[in-house]
Amino acid sequence: MKIEHIQKNYGKKVVLRDITLSAEKGSCIGILGGNGSGKSTLLNILAGVLRTDGGSFSYDGHDLLRDTAFRTKHVGFVPQSTPLMEELSARDNLRLWYEKEEMEASLSDGVLAMLGIGDFLKVRVEKMSGGMKKRLAIGCAVAHNPDVLLLDEPSAALDLVCKERIATYLKSFKEEGGIILLATHDVQELPLCDALYILKNGRLAPYVFDGDVHRLVGKL
């Protein structure tokens, strides 16, 4: 996966400047940055939600910003807000993405089982906790078995059980050769990452986390 020279401007304000990075199969890239640094903007561009003002995003020889069909097949996206049907149950939301047989198999011994979604299948989204919604959103996002997963702060404000469920799935996704691009504020997620970058003032810079949280905070 290659991200090359991504640019984004809002009027005269430059939000993203020449964002470039690459990732091998079976790896996770962590993007760190303060609120308003552009992390969500970057992921929304890569997911096709926002237009870029320049640059490319490629996988397996395809420019995913221009080849929408290929991107839809190979990229999964979990934004900060959970894109679920509030009035429907977890099961009914899943049926929008899965064939019935595929869903049942995954609930029995697959991604959905790993995420613990079987525990709240009958609960309507409007009645769910934040952790339930996030796990369900991930379950929906990976229904088509993507090769690249874009995650915007997946464990923000979640309890330890939910964080563990999500971490277990993401480790499995990597082990199967998937690529994860993770925007995060959570220090607990950093061990999952094979490389880290800090996004600040529109620019991306590599960062090596040595366990010193205070030093990291000072860089953001």
The domain that contains 185 carries what CATH number?
3.40.50.300
- Give, in order, the Cα–Cα distances in Å from 204 to each of 5, 36, 56, 72, 190: 11, 14, 16, 26, 17
What local confidence, expressed as pLDDT, does residue 57 receive? Answer: 96
In the beta sheet, which residues pair with residue 21? 3
- Assess contact for 40 and 80: CB atoms under 8 A: yes
Mean of all residue pLDDT scores within the chain: 92
Region 50-66: what's the mean pLDDT? 94
Region 177-182: what's the mean pLDDT? 96
Q: What is the pLDDT of residues 181-205, one digit of tens each?
A: 999 888 888 889 999 999 999 999 9
pTM score, two decimals? 0.91
Q: What is the pLDDT of residues 125-143, one digit of tens each?
A: 999 988 899 899 999 999 9
What local confidence, expressed as pLDDT, does residue 154 receive? Answer: 86
The residue segments making up the domain with residue 30 are 2-219
Phi, psi (degrees; rounded to nearest 5) at 16: -130, 130
d(CA 207, CA 205): 6
- DSSP assignment, residue 211? S
What local confidence, expressed as pLDDT, does residue 81 receive? Answer: 84
- Assess contact for 147 and 74: CB atoms under 8 A: yes
- Give, in order, the Cα–Cα distances in Å from 94 to each of 28, 100, 103, 149, 153: 26, 9, 7, 18, 22
In the beta sheet, which residues pair with residue 19? 6
Query: Burial level of 42, CB count in 10 A (0-12/13-18/19+)?
Result: buried
Confidence of residue 36 (pLDDT cuts 50, 70, 90): confident
68-100 b/e (C-beta count within 10 Å ≥ 16 → b): eebbeebbbbbbbebebeeeebbbebbeeebee
What local confidence, expressed as pLDDT, does residue 24 receive? Answer: 95
Confidence of residue 163 (pLDDT cuts 50, 70, 90): confident
Confidence of residue 42 (pLDDT cuts 50, 70, 90): very high
- Give, in order, the Cα–Cα distances in Å from 142 to each of 14, 94, 128, 137, 146: 32, 11, 20, 9, 6
Confidence of residue 68 (pLDDT cuts 50, 70, 90): very high
- Using the predicted structure, report yes or no on whether residue 86 has a pLDDT greater than 90: yes
d(CA 41, CA 10): 11
In this structure, the number of other CB atoms found within 10 A of the CB of residue 115 comes to 24
- Assess contact for 17 and 7: CB atoms under 8 A: yes
Number of domains in the chain: 1
- Assess contact for 91 and 156: CB atoms under 8 A: no
Tokens 């090769």, residue?
147
- Using the predicted structure, report yes or no on whether residue 156 has a pLDDT greater than 80: no
Q: What is the pLDDT of residues 89-112, one digit of tens each?
A: 999 999 999 999 999 999 998 999
- Candidates 176, 108, 105, 180; CA nearest to 141 is 180
